[in-house]
Structure 1
Amino acid sequence: MENSKIEILERDKIDKSYRWSIEDLYPSEEAFDSDFKKAKEYIQEIRDYQHKLKSKEIILECLKFRDKISRILDRLYTYSHMKFDEDSSLEQSQIMLSNSQWLLQSFEEATSFIEPELISLGKDFLDELILDSKFEDYNFEIKNLIRQMPHILSENEEKIVAKTSLLAFSPSHIYHHLTISDFEFPDAFDSSGKTYPLTQGTYSLYIHNQDRILRESAYKSLFGTYKKHQNTLASTLDMSFKFLNFYSTTRKYDSSIDYSLFSDNVSKKFYKELINIVKSNLKPLHSYIKLKSKILGLKKVRLFDLNVPLFDSERDISFEDSKDIVINSLSPLGKEYIDLVQRAFSERWIDVYENKNKVSGAYSTSCYDVHPYILLNYKGKLEDLFTMVHEIGHAIHSALANKSQPYTKSSYSIISAEIASITNEILLLEFLTRNTTDKTERNSLLNKFLENTRTTLYRQIQFAEFELKISELIDNFQSLTAQNLNTIYDELNKEYYGEFLETDEFSGVEWARIPHFYSPFYVYKYSTGFSCANYFAERILSEDTGSYINFLKSGGANFPLDLLKSAGVDLESLEPVKLTIKKFLEKLKEINSPPAKP
């Protein structure tokens, strides 16, 4: 557990070449203030359109003005949250971010009349707008509005529902305050008796450690605490799903899941078929768990054993070296894509290193009128390389979509976003695996794919099935309790991981640590993204790149499953999922085989 101490620098001590070019958004805070003032005035002006959306001319004028304001707000918010994330201790950055959030809320309120007024004009009139070439930039938005018409309430009912929004977030807020701010965990200890402070953050370090005593101690301390509070946590989850049921029934959906999947135009039938295809292919996962137990020298593994690396092959990779690896691994995507990657490096789209008070983790962010940005905390490890190529996937996706689509069709769904980032990870993994001659490193890379499949396909589908089961309880007027949640979750553990997993008194309460359950029916998107990324990567490595690039360029011009079909990927057929499971089996067989001779 000993690590060399890394000095964290003040931001101004980091070379400018490794800091993002935030000045491309605004060259100064005075320029930011000027746009802020302009947006504030525009928000007042757009209110003048209320009760006037009767003719095509006025409607088009209003929509264009709305988008003009929205583009300024996107730029303001992107700049302010980036300034805050650079150094969260600066009071001016805190104020700037808070003011931008307030302005966004004011804009949402000021423009809330637009959709109800358009709907009041009736389907026939809206169909005319779709066919009018002047409304080409808005045809998908209007089509989607027509879809929502059966679920739109009266004006007074909509106002009542809107007032419940803050209440609906209460279970999530309580959950996060309790588990992040209030929970205190007993220290963990290793095989030598040395103690380690346990937090939500350090837990992920300890369960990857080779010392099984440390892993078990951390596991029992963490989930022992969750179990002490399981009744309260069951109540917050119960209330969260009851709010979901309230919205689904109030808006006349058949079920909670129908309501949740509606925005992406995904059917309940597909969701259930996705679960079924994965559950009918659990044997490969069981074989992998058996391999884990064998390599770790255990008769059976427990939950705290699942994350420990099976092969220890770590090497340092400088940021400069990582750029060459990224470009070479993504070269099958073609010149247009690689040119954008090179621009990301040369034009300082990336904020590379950690500095004092910089936000942790990594992300990509963008607004329509300026190139995307990437935040990293690069430390030179292999995982940092994968994080960078993942975020580059998001950034280039945004760059291509923004260049190819009008503003109204540039924003893409989470399903599409996950495909763009994970495809890059798979291309990098394949590149590194092909180009290593070290058997341990090769096995480590193969194991990374197996772990990614376990955690992103199998585990997320386990979560998806858990959500389906508990939503059906709520829809059938039953309540969620610690007892029935623990039972459902542990039965799924046994089913998904098979005979080589040993459950225990804490394994059933793991549901209580999954924050995604407070954003219901979200996790399946990780599994579909991972599966489609594998499908695209196979085609890209076979020199079929054009359809994938066109998919990225399509942005949010249609629903995600329709965009995939246009790119030749029929997700509803579940072929991408089948291919991913097939690839999982191949890598599992390959992991103990010697590398092929060149």
Structure 2
Amino acid sequence: MSKQRYEIEEKYQWDLTTIFPTDDAWEAELADLQAETEKTKEFAGHLLDSAKSLLTISETQLGLMRRIEKLYVYASMKNDQDTREGKYQEFQAKAMGLYAAFSQAFAFYEPEFMAITEEQLEAFKAEEPTLVQYSHQFEKLLAAKDHVLSQEVEEVLAATSEIFESPAETFSVLDNASLRFPEIVDEDGHLVPLSHGNYIHFMESKNRDVRQEAYEAMYGTYEQFQHTYAKTLQSNVKVNNLKARLRKYDSARHASLAANFIPESVYDTLVAAVNKHLPLLHRYINLRKKLLGIDDLKMYDMYTPLSDFSTKISYEDALKKCQETLEIFGEDYSAIVKEAFENRWIDVHVNEGKRSGAYSGGAYDTNAFMLLNWQDNLDNMYTLIHETGHSLHSMLTRKTQPYVYGHYSLFLAEIASTTNENLLTEKLLAEVEDDKERFAILNHYLDGFRGTVFRQTQFAEFEQAIYKADQEGQVLTADFLNELYGQTNEKYYGLSAEENPEIQFEWARIPHFYYNFYVYQYATGFAAASALANKIVNGSPEDKENYLNYLKAGSSDYSLNVIAKAGVDMTKEDYLNDAFKVFEARLEELEALVEKGVHL
């Protein structure tokens, strides 16, 4: 059984008192923001009265958003550390309610701003030079002119934002706080409760019976609740399709990608390129089958390491290795890493009720915190350096950009995190002398590539299919979702859906399907990171500087422009093909080690 939170040493818990010293301070800020938000209703109808009016209202809007963001982050993270505590669920609901009121109060902003002419905007900038720093933000607003609705409709959408979030919230509560998995027998013969936090640990077990029992227990539980999960997912899809339709987008995908000014061709190019390279995945799976000595390879055999080399690594050792890896970026970057690792930015260990998985989070005026559910293995060290990549991206952006550009798009986010992963792989391979250890690192890289590029594209393909099905009137029942997911999985892995029936329920446990076309960015990010890591390790000092400038850019330019300046053109297929070349080269190296007898 996982520890209770009070049993975890303080040094392994994030310090949220740096956001608000007490819950009372949080509630005082909530009350103040509620009052401040109420006062802003007088702004409606006056945005373009004068240059001064545009500046005052814009800065008031951003100032309130900055404070609300901080308020929400505290509530959300407090809730995530123990999702069973009703108090912080209430805090989170209050913060969301405030955001809804804020959005409703400023629903006039975009419709009114759309009336401005180019001449008027330039005249306003001349009169109030402070407006110049908002030029890119204004440009992006005007680019979405065709999708901004009347003030009345915008107010309705703002007022219903909490309702629109309910499918994702319901999923989160069900999956993290309510769902209970059965006990299984571990490698030592002990009966232990299965959880989100230890599932992958069991999937990596050398004991096939343990893997099978954990796998069947996990998906057997989701099978019991498949109809509930189908309803929450269908509701989420309908919400996003409705919002896209109301805003005159062709689809929810179009709306989601347009928010970051990403053409849909980037998504389609990814899916096409990955499908073209599926034979590489099948080749790797066949090697896995050979090395494991299993005639009937199953989905629960996909995670166990192919090497018997011990990859157990403590949290402290992982911190040290990550710091050493990231020294390549210089003193300024390393100083922030040191601060994060030593000053309780990280919530490390599993505890009862804690949100599963891992993430980096925070607000413009907070530390860039990280949530982990630590297990002593190589995969968790990669998770640590991945989330550190997000956190350093956040901190460098905030230190460089004003609040209006102090965030980066989701499209850019996964590039920074997976570049760090690639750098760790490069360092480990450069240092290793033992063939068995090299085998283990190559195996980890190939599994990571499979899980990030192939698997996330599989998710992206499934996600696009269910949104399209809903648009065409298909009811997203559990049976429909099971069949579609099973077929998609069979195409990617070459393993019969009929012989792997449990995997058809996997869609039910993927939280990213509630993030509205997020997952494809893991795959594009990893592929771009392959090119960037190569430039950082083998390129010029200018290449490194260009990369750091990308980390500092935030949203001060369009995402594709930001990453192009760092050296990757993501409108073309080349970066994807280059990534598959790295995968194939490392697969060939693994195959060569097998020929030498370096395997189980």
TM-score range relative to shorter protein: 0.7 to 0.9
Match for residue 328 of structure 1 among 308, 319, 324: 324
**Kept after mapping to 2: 8 A contact 1:300/1:502:** no
Q: Mean alpha-carbon deviation: is it higher for 227-236 or for 581-590?
A: 227-236
Equivalent residues in 2 for 1:1-150 (5 A)? Answer: 10=6, 14=10, 22=16, 24-25=18-19, 38-53=32-47, 54-79=49-74, 81=76, 100-121=95-116, 125-126=120-121, 133-150=129-146
Question: 1:273 corresponds to which residue?
Answer: 269
Q: Mean alpha-carbon deviation: is it higher for 323-332 or for 98-107?
A: 98-107
Question: 1:366 corresponds to which residue?
Answer: 362
Taking the aligned partners of 1:495 and 1:399, their CA distance within structure 2 comes to: 40
Question: 2:418 corresponds to which residue?
Answer: 422
Q: Mean alpha-carbon deviation: is it higher for 318-327 or for 570-579?
A: 318-327
**Kept after mapping to 1: 8 A contact 2:37/2:101:** yes
Taking the aligned partners of 1:20 and 1:180, their CA distance within structure 2 comes to: 20
Using a 3 Å threshold, how does the CA distance of structure 1 residues 282 and 65 change in structure 2: closer, same or farther? Answer: same
TM-score, scaled relative to structure 2: 0.85
Q: Give the counterpart letter for 1:119 in structure 2.
A: M
Taking the aligned partners of 1:357 and 1:493, their CA distance within structure 2 comes to: 31
Question: 2:535 corresponds to which residue?
Answer: 539
Q: Give the counterpart letter for 1:47 in structure 2.
A: K
Using a 3 Å threshold, how does the CA distance of structure 1 residues 306 and 124 change in structure 2: closer, same or farther? Answer: farther
Equivalent residues in 2 for 1:15-414 (5 A)? Answer: 22=16, 24-25=18-19, 38-53=32-47, 54-79=49-74, 81=76, 100-121=95-116, 125-126=120-121, 133-162=129-158, 164-173=160-169, 175=171, 188=184, 197-227=193-223, 230=226, 233-314=229-310, 317=313, 320-345=316-341, 347-350=343-346, 361-376=357-372, 381-414=377-410
SS in 2 for 1:264: coil
**Kept after mapping to 1: 8 A contact 2:2/2:351:** no
Using a 3 Å threshold, how does the CA distance of structure 1 residues 484 and 262 change in structure 2: closer, same or farther? Answer: same
Gaps of at least 5 residues in structure 1 are none
**Kept after mapping to 1: 8 A contact 2:486/2:497:** no
Question: 1:438 corresponds to which residue?
Answer: 434
Aligned residues: percent identity?
Answer: 34
Equivalent residues in 2 for 1:460-471 (5 A)? Answer: 460-471=456-467
Taking the aligned partners of 1:495 and 1:156, their CA distance within structure 2 comes to: 47
SS in 1 for 2:293: coil
Using a 3 Å threshold, how does the CA distance of structure 1 residues 314 and 559 change in structure 2: closer, same or farther? Answer: farther
Taking the aligned partners of 1:238 and 1:500, their CA distance within structure 2 comes to: 26
Taking the aligned partners of 1:170 and 1:418, their CA distance within structure 2 comes to: 26
Question: 2:549 corresponds to which residue?
Answer: 550
Using a 3 Å threshold, how does the CA distance of structure 1 residues 240 and 89 change in structure 2: closer, same or farther? Answer: closer
CA-based RMSD of the aligned residues comes to: 3.7
**Kept after mapping to 2: 8 A contact 1:208/1:309:** yes
**Kept after mapping to 1: 8 A contact 2:176/2:353:** no
Q: Give the counterpart letter for 1:428 in structure 2.
A: L
SS in 2 for 1:457: helix
How far 1:401 sits from its partner (Å)? 0.7
Using a 3 Å threshold, how does the CA distance of structure 1 residues 246 and 26 change in structure 2: closer, same or farther? Answer: closer
How far 1:397 sits from its partner (Å)? 1.0
**Kept after mapping to 2: 8 A contact 1:11/1:356:** no
Q: Give the counterpart letter for 1:117 in structure 2.
A: E
**Kept after mapping to 1: 8 A contact 2:257/2:264:** yes
Q: For 1:332-354, what per-residue CA distance to the aligned partner results, in whole angstroms no more than 9, with x for missing partners?
A: 22233223223434555445566
Q: For 1:387-421, what per-residue CA distance to the aligned partner results, in whole angstroms no more than 9, with x for missing partners?
A: 32222212211121112111100111122121111
Using a 3 Å threshold, how does the CA distance of structure 1 residues 468 and 533 change in structure 2: closer, same or farther? Answer: same
Using a 3 Å threshold, how does the CA distance of structure 1 residues 206 and 389 change in structure 2: closer, same or farther? Answer: closer
Q: For 1:247-282, what per-residue CA distance to the aligned partner results, in whole angstroms no more than 9, with x for missing partners?
A: 222222223321232211122222112111111111
Aligned pairs, number:
590
Q: Mean alpha-carbon deviation: is it higher for 285-294 or for 75-84?
A: 75-84
Q: Mean alpha-carbon deviation: is it higher for 415-424 or for 40-49?
A: 40-49
Taking the aligned partners of 2:8 and 2:237, their CA distance within structure 1 comes to: 47
Q: Mean alpha-carbon deviation: is it higher for 177-186 or for 335-344?
A: 177-186
Taking the aligned partners of 2:349 and 2:220, their CA distance within structure 1 comes to: 36
**Kept after mapping to 1: 8 A contact 2:411/2:521:** yes
Equivalent residues in 2 for 1:485-496 (5 A)? Answer: 485-496=481-492
**Kept after mapping to 1: 8 A contact 2:107/2:154:** no
Q: For 1:406-458, what per-residue CA distance to the aligned partner results, in whole angstroms no more than 9, with x for missing partners?
A: 11001111221211111112211221222222332221111111111111100
SS in 1 for 2:556: coil
Q: Give the counterpart letter for 1:240 in structure 2.
A: N
SS in 1 for 2:290: helix
Are positions 1:586 and 2:585 aligned together? Answer: yes
Taking the aligned partners of 2:483 and 2:582, their CA distance within structure 1 comes to: 32
**Kept after mapping to 1: 8 A contact 2:176/2:354:** no
Q: Give the counterpart letter for 2:584 in structure 1.
A: L
Using a 3 Å threshold, how does the CA distance of structure 1 residues 220 and 149 change in structure 2: closer, same or farther? Answer: same
Taking the aligned partners of 1:372 and 1:243, their CA distance within structure 2 comes to: 30
How far 1:167 sits from its partner (Å)? 4.7
Match for residue 524 of structure 1 among 505, 520, 525: 520
**Kept after mapping to 1: 8 A contact 2:108/2:151:** no
Using a 3 Å threshold, how does the CA distance of structure 1 residues 182 and 32 change in structure 2: closer, same or farther? Answer: closer
Taking the aligned partners of 2:67 and 2:172, their CA distance within structure 1 comes to: 32
SS in 1 for 2:219: helix
How far 1:151 sits from its partner (Å)? 1.5
How far 1:159 sits from its partner (Å)? 4.0
Q: For 1:148-187, what per-residue CA distance to the aligned partner results, in whole angstroms no more than 9, with x for missing partners?
A: 2212222333344445545544544555566666666665
Are positions 1:566 and 2:565 aligned together? Answer: yes
Gaps of at least 5 residues in structure 2 are none
Q: For 1:314-342, what per-residue CA distance to the aligned partner results, in whole angstroms no more than 9, with x for missing partners?
A: 35555554443223211222233223223
Using a 3 Å threshold, how does the CA distance of structure 1 residues 205 and 133 change in structure 2: closer, same or farther? Answer: same
Q: Give the counterpart letter for 2:401 in structure 1.
A: Q
Using a 3 Å threshold, how does the CA distance of structure 1 residues 328 and 490 change in structure 2: closer, same or farther? Answer: same
Q: For 1:68-88, what per-residue CA distance to the aligned partner results, in whole angstroms no more than 9, with x for missing partners?
A: 333333444445555666677
Taking the aligned partners of 2:323 and 2:173, their CA distance within structure 1 comes to: 42
How far 1:240 sits from its partner (Å)? 3.4
Question: 1:458 corresponds to which residue?
Answer: 454
**Kept after mapping to 2: 8 A contact 1:244/1:256:** yes
Q: Mean alpha-carbon deviation: is it higher for 359-368 or for 456-465?
A: 359-368
Using a 3 Å threshold, how does the CA distance of structure 1 residues 258 and 430 change in structure 2: closer, same or farther? Answer: same
Using a 3 Å threshold, how does the CA distance of structure 1 residues 69 and 193 change in structure 2: closer, same or farther? Answer: closer
Q: For 1:477-496, what per-residue CA distance to the aligned partner results, in whole angstroms no more than 9, with x for missing partners?
A: 33334444344333322322
Q: Give the counterpart letter for 1:432 in structure 2.
A: L
Using a 3 Å threshold, how does the CA distance of structure 1 residues 13 and 257 change in structure 2: closer, same or farther? Answer: closer
Q: For 1:215-248, what per-residue CA distance to the aligned partner results, in whole angstroms no more than 9, with x for missing partners?
A: 3334344434544555554454444333333222
Taking the aligned partners of 1:430 and 1:515, their CA distance within structure 2 comes to: 30
SS in 2 for 1:364: strand
Using a 3 Å threshold, how does the CA distance of structure 1 residues 505 and 82 change in structure 2: closer, same or farther? Answer: closer
Using a 3 Å threshold, how does the CA distance of structure 1 residues 150 and 470 change in structure 2: closer, same or farther? Answer: same
